Structure formats: C-alpha cells, structure tokens
Amino acid sequence: MRNLPDGVQDFLPDELRFKRNIENILRNTFELSGYEEIMPPTFEYLDNFATTSGIFFDENNIYRFFDKKGDLLALRPDVTTQVARIASTKYHEYPLKFSYIANVFRYDNPQVGKMREFTQAGIELIGKNHEYSDAECISVAVEALKNIGIKDFKVDIGQAEFFKSILCELRLTKDEEDILKGLLKEKNQSEIEYFLRHNNITGRNYELIVNLPLFFGDIDVVENAKRVYEFESAMKALNYLERVYDILKDFGMDSYITFDLGMVQSIDYYTGLIFRVFVKDLGYAICAGGRYDNLLKNYGKDLPATGFAISVERSMLAIQSQSGITIKKPKSIAVLFDDKNRKEAYDIAVRLRSQGNIAELVNMDNSEYANRKKFDEIIRAGV
Amino acid sequence: MRLLGQVCKMDSITVALPKGRLAEKSFEVFASCGISGNIQNEMSRKLFIYDHESNLNFILVKPSDVPTYVEHGAADLGVCGKDVLLELKRDCYEVLDLGFGRCKMVVAGPLNKKDNFLSNKRVATKFPAIAEEFYKKKGENVEIIKLNGSVELAPLVGLSEVIVDIVETGTTLKENGLTVYEEIFSSSARLIVNKASMKTKSERIKEIIYKLKSAKESGMLQI
C-alpha cells in the first residue's frame, strides 16, 4: 500500500510551515485573551460523545473501534465535548477559559476543504451565561481571524432559541420538526410553503415560518423580526441578540456582523446564540460556534458555556485565495567543512543557530546537496 | 454611505446554468425580471458570458455539474432541476422553486409487464442514489445499474427489468414500448445559492431572489 485512504493528507515542509505559522498566531491570540491551552486525548469512550438522548453526531460519521477489553472507543469528532467533560469533572470553580488546537476525525464525504482528519483551533468559556460571554467569544474569533491575515469576512449570528420558540407555537411531531429544520437549513422556501400547506398550518403560524429563510442581513433584520415575532419567548431571544450586537459595536466590530434568524446548526448541542464565519469567495464557513448550555449536564454539572472552533485547513485555503501564501522561514546557511576544520564548523553552526538562523553542516564533498537545498548563504569553515 | 452601497451592489455574481433548454428559459426569465440584459443571442457556443449591464457572469455547464459549481463557490447562484439536487445532495441553499422545467421521476417498464420471480429486480438508471433511496424506503432489495444515457433501452435488451428515469411528456417511453409503473416525485427547476455567497454578497443575491419570487407569484414564469 503506497497510497492514503480518502480524507487524510500528508503535510510536506512548506505547507506544514504555513499551517504551523497560522496555528502559532491562533494559539498566541487565545493565550493573550486569557484562554489557557489544554489537550485532551485523541480517543476516548464513545459514550463520552453521547448523551442520554443520543449522540450529538451522526454515529456513522464517528470513527469507532474496540480496545482489547471490548470497550467501544471513538476518535474525537470534536473537542468541545471533551472540554465540557474536563471542565465538569476536574474543576470546581467557574468560570473557566480554555483553548485548544487539535485534530478531529469525521467520516464525511471528503471534498475540498472537508477532510476526514482536520485541525480545529478554538476556545471555550464555561460557567457564564451572559451576553458579555457571547460577545467576548465573537470578539476573540474576529481578532484571531484578523491576526492570521484573513480579510473580507462576516460573522453570521443566529439564535437557536428563536427557532425553538417558533416551533413551540406550531405543535408539530418530532419527525415533522426534523423535516422543517432540514428545509430551513437549506433555506428552501418553496418546499417550506408546500410543507406548511400539507400540514394545514395556516394564518399567523404560516406567516411565522414562511419568511424565516429570508430573515438574514444586517442588524435591521433583528429590528424587523421584532415586529413579526411579537410573542414573549421570541422577543427575549431577539433582545438578547441586540444586546450582544451593542457590545460588539462598542468593540468596533459591527462591520463584521450579520444576522441569520433562520440559521440551524447541524451539531445538536447548541442552545442559544450561534455563529459562523464566512469569507468572500470561499464556499463554506471557516469558523463555527455558539452557546451550549445543556452539554455539561451530561458530565454532572449544570453549567452554561459558549465557544467556537476555527478550521485551520479552511483558513489556509482562505488566505491562499485572498492574498497568496507567504511562508516565513528563518535565513538558512550551509556551513561547508572537511575533516580538518569540523570543530570550527560546528562552533560556527551553533553560533548561527543561537542567532535564530537555520544552520546545517555540509560535508565539502556533498556540495550537490548544498546546491539542491537552495540555502540563502553558503559559508566555508576555516577560510 | 451611498457610494458604499453602490460598491456592494456591483459585487460581481456568477450564475451557473445547465446547458440546454433550462438555460434558455433561465436567460429569458432573468432578462424579463430585469436581473440581466438580454443576452440570449450570445449563447451560441460560449461557455462563459459576461453581461455588462448587470455585472453578472453566466457559465454554462452540464446539468449535473451545476450543484458542484455552486457548493464550492465557483458560482454564487445556479439553476438546477430538483432531480439533480436529490441525486447529488450537495450542501447549498435551495431557495426557490422556479416552477418551470417540470418533469417527473418515475419507475417505468415494458407495457406487457411480465411477472418475474427473481429475488433481485434490476433497475437501470442515471440516478442511482434516488433509485436506491426509493427502493430502500419500500423495503425492496434491487440491483441498481448505473447508465449514462439511453436508459429506455435497458429493459428492451434485457439489461434490467425496470428503469428509474425523468419523463416530461412520456413520448420517448411510448416509442420504446414502455409505460410508467410508479411516480417517485415531480421535479422542477430550483434556484440554488452558495452558503457563503448568500452572506458575503447578500444584498445582490437577496435582490435577485426577490425579483424571481415576485415574478413567479405573478405567474410570469409559467411556460
């Protein structure tokens, strides 16, 4: 076997240098914002990714395997569930702020920007349920993306509570709710119309749902929605969005913010404000996150939480298509030597390295290697 | 402020259209709704048409490739039959049923249907995913044979017992001595939108959606 299975890839030096550079900037941004880095294991019990009500992820999309004892294990499909477990079981004082950069594994159909093993860089803020924590999360995401050099991006904010509050009004069965959710996810307005007529949903309730797919755009959307969705739970959800927006405005980030009241997340644990980041001319979100106030209950603590994950590979694609890759690499120097002056050559190399250069000892009779490697400078020991 | 609005408005938008009759109809609709200029005459053999008037790019691609272009963001919008969308299950917004390009996905077979007692029925089709899901739901085990064209031939030469295919008028079926056994769903042209474009170029895209929507509601899109 000389080839790789679908959905995984080798990173060769230039590409990996580019990736590590991005990861370092992200790590630094998170750290400086007060989010300490942690690293959960690559695999753990499958049950840890499940709740009493089922698994958050499509079970067929998780890499599962048995250990020798017969326990069912899983490669992590995301890190958030692991951070939730750590925060509930290993800590007693809150709030907590964690960050991570880790590879996750999902058995999706591989396509551009959608690998089966990919790197997520994210933060989690656990133990606080306040508009400030949502605003803080979004602001860290904006800073992080700006720092790695992404331009022209939009943070698209939705509200999981809002759709739930409308569903409550409709009294559909669980299956019908799932169908409607799927149609809303596609913004499939025509099919939503057929669905509502088919289920004899008319009058006010029809109006509540039918325009939902097109309720997206700038802050005016929230304002307009308040005139249509006048019942209490919906108003509460909309007012919350406005308060978060006001904070972000004071942080100078309002130009990045758009709203989509018809947004539905595919991972099931989100409960309140949710968001995604889109880049012009890249077809898919490079960052997703939101509030998941019920997740920690599974690990024994009833704590609110919010967070996001940036897809590192997709960010690489975005940077590549926007400004082209610039790989920062230290100056590289070859130190040519022969048997007589190898001691001196080694001393030179050590000195160059301590100054932050790449320094390689190259045997005089191996000059072909020195030529091929394209050093910035070639020096000779003992001259 | 107005300048900014205008800059946003002039975001160039790329529309993927399926080569053939749907493209012709789409051009007609786009022009009659005032979304683009009248450029139907330009579509002779070109695959790429730029309309100065509206700053829209049109690309003409194979019908089954439209969702692929849109999903990846190579095109912001696309016009595509529901049959193709169901077959490919691509990740994009399906915002509007345009109402034209109507046809039906059916199971068809020979007129004088013979009972056959084979445990696995053979189904020839260009739409293997749709056929598979249909028979799965029915709880029938079938063997699916993927063909790329002239599917009507399969039952005549004994390649399959039935076919799953798109029919508009049914003439081709009749000419080949086939008849519709069952209807799976009815299809029509849909407007699909890339998920990122919807947000990063929302002003222009919303405008296009609204124009098409009101044209549809006033009955302008009927054939």
- Tell me, what's the pLDDT at B21? 85
Q: What is the pLDDT of residue B2?
A: 35
Residue A254 region by backbone torsions, left for phi larger than 0, else alpha for psi between -120 and 50, else beta: alpha
Query: Across the interface, which of B95, B195, B200 has its CB nearest the CB of A280?
Result: B200
Q: Check CB contact of A112 with chain B, cutoff 8 Å.
A: yes
Contact A188 B209 (CB under 8 A): no
A276-to-A257, A258, A286, B22 alpha-carbon distances in Å: 10, 10, 8, 34
Nearest CB partner across the interface for B196, out of A188, A214, A282:
A282
Kindly report, residue by residue over B122-141, the tens digit of the pLDDT: 999 999 999 999 999 988 88
Q: Mean per-residue pLDDT for A258-270?
A: 81
Using alpha carbons, list the distances in angstroms from residue A237 to A141, A166, A284, A295, B164. Answer: 22, 11, 26, 20, 47
Tens digits of residue pLDDT in A230-244: 889 899 999 999 999
Q: What does pLDDT average to over chain A? A: 90
Residue A113 has pLDDT above 70, yes or no: no
Measured between beta carbons, the chain A residues lying within 8 angstroms of B209 are 214
The answer on pLDDT for A184 being more than 80 is yes
Interface contact flag, A188 B94, Cβ < 8 Å: yes
- Residue to substitute from B199, B200, B221, interface A, most A β-carbons within 10 A: B199
| Domains of chain B with CATH codes | 2-101+188-217 (3.40.190.10), 103-186 (3.40.190.10)
- Among the partner-chain residues A154, A186, A217, the one whose CB lies closest to the CB of B93 is A186
Candidate from A262-271, A325-334, A346-355 with smallest mean pLDDT: A262-271
d(CA A125, CA A140): 11
**The CATH number of domain A332-380, selected from 3.40.50.12590, 3.10.20.740, 3.40.50.300, 3.40.50.2000:** 3.40.50.12590
**The domain A13-152+280-322: what is its CATH number?**
3.30.930.10
pTM above 0.80, yes or no: yes
**Beta carbons of A258 and B199 less than 8 Å apart:** yes
Residue A228 tokens, joined: 């249509």
Task: Give the closest-approach CA distance of B75 to chain A in angstroms.
Answer: 9
CA A296, CA A98: separation in Å to the nearest integer? Answer: 15
Amino acid at A335: V
Q: Where are the domains of chain A?
A: 13-152+280-322, 332-380
Tell me how close the Cα of A75 comes to any Cα of chain B, in angstroms: 25
Query: How high is the pLDDT of residue A282?
Result: 82
In this structure, are residues A107 and A60 in contact, taking their beta carbons and an 8 Å threshold?
A: yes
Convert the pLDDT of each residue in A299-325 to its tens digit.
889 999 999 999 999 999 999 888 777
d(CA A278, CA A287): 8
Of A169-173, A197-201, A317-321, B187-191, the poorest mean pLDDT is in A169-173
Average pLDDT estimate for A17-37? 96
pLDDT band of A115, cuts 50, 70, 90: confident
Per-residue pLDDT at A111: 63
Q: What's the pLDDT tens digit per position in A91-101?
A: 999 999 999 99
Q: How far is B205 from chain A (nearest CA, A)?
A: 11
- Find where tokens 């009500």 sit: A53
Kindly indicate the confidence band of residue A112, based on its pLDDT and cuts at 50, 70 and 90.
low
Amino acid of residue B128:
P
Q: Per-10-residue mean pLDDT for chain B, 223 residues long?
A: 40 89 87 78 74 87 94 93 92 91 93 64 94 92 92 92 92 91 93 92 90 85 62
Chain A CA closest to residue B96? A190
Q: Residue A125 pairs with which residues in a beta bridge?
A: A97, A306
Residue A342's CB is within 10 A of a number of other CB atoms, namely: 15
Q: What is the pLDDT of residue B9?
A: 45
Search chain B and give the residue with CA nearest A277: B196
Residue A129 gets which letter from DSSP? Answer: -
The arithmetic mean of pLDDT across residues A248-265, rounded, is 92
